[in-house]
A = this chain, B = another copy of it.
Amino acid sequence: MREVHNRGMNARFHAPDAQAPGEVVPLPDDEAEHLTRVLRLKAGDAVRVFNGRGDEFDAVVEQAGKNGALVRVGAAQRPAPEARVAITLAQAALKGDKMDDMVRDAVMLGVAVIQPIVTERAKVTRASLARSQRRDRWQRIAISSAKQCGRATVTPILEPLDFGELVEALAKLALPQPALMFVEPDAGQDATRLSELDLSPQRAATVIIGPEGGWTDSEIEHAASVARLVTLGGRTLRADAMPVVALAALFTIWGEF
């Protein structure tokens, strides 16, 4: 039997093919590159792998080189716990790197699904997102964040939707209810403070968060039939801080912390 080295012990890799102890499975190209080129691990090094569907295992590098990396799956291990409330985060596209940071942080906090949306005041279109392959990029960031925070589940990044399509999807219950749409404190009397909502523990929920320029009046009106309008008290928060603050607040209410 091969001697096992421990220098890769704290490294975790996404091995979607890992199902059970004893198997030898390949790593995806990105992961193989991380293992061989960045961390310079070699055959015999001990690592951890997770399959993205909730399973985590000890593993040993079986082969690592230019042709990729293979690992031998070992004993199942307990991954970091998943949130009991499966939150779908419907997040308006933010500018530049802000969306990358949002994906990283939302995955770290434990969202179940990320649904990017394109709103009237977003600075992007679905076509420009598709051209620049942003969804693939966000999916890679979601995997990378799962590696760092200990989740064994990879958060899927859905195909971006226009705001109207989001409202339709909610109306058809194609996304989880209740849906909570976070709005500015001055968005009018139809909005309720988070602390005043009756938010008994849920199995799932959709959280809708706007872009830097905020929602238009017509978007708010349009959403009011399918979502509850929610404020976070009286202060104005930066758009790119909103997802972390809103998720942290909801996970607190639902006993996740």
List residues of A whose CB falls within 8 A of some B CB.
80-81, 104-105, 108-110, 148-151, 193-195, 231-238, 241, 244-245, 248-249, 251-253, 255-257
Contact = CB atoms under 8 A, between A and B. Distances in A.
A235 B149 contact: yes
A237 B195 contact: no
A238 B106 CA distance: 11
Contacts of A105: 238, 241
A80 B234 CA distance: 6
Tell me which of A233, A248, A252, A257 has the highest count of chain B C-beta atoms within 10 A of its own C-beta.
Answer: A257
A151 B249 CA distance: 21
Contact of A232 (B232, B245, B249, B257): B257
Given A195-B257, A249-B257, 11 more contacts: A81-B234, A108-B235, A109-B245, A148-B236, A148-B238, A149-B235, A193-B257, A195-B256, A233-B256, A248-B252, A249-B251
Contact of A235 (B110, B233, B235, B237): B110
Instruction: Work out how many copies of this chain go into the complex.
Output: 2
6 contacts: A81-B235, A108-B237, A108-B238, A108-B241, A148-B236, A249-B257
A236 B147 CA distance: 11
Nearest 7 CB-CB pairings of A with B: A248-B248, A252-B252, A249-B252, A232-B257, A194-B257, A81-B234, A245-B248
A151 B235 contact: yes
A32 to B, nearest CB: 24
A255 B253 CA distance: 11
B195 A235 contact: no
Tell me which of A235, A238, A255 has the highest count of chain B C-beta atoms within 10 A of its own C-beta.
Answer: A235
Nearest to A245: B248
B257 A150 contact: no
A233 B257 contact: yes
Contact of A81 (B233, B251, B252): B233
Nearest to A250: B252
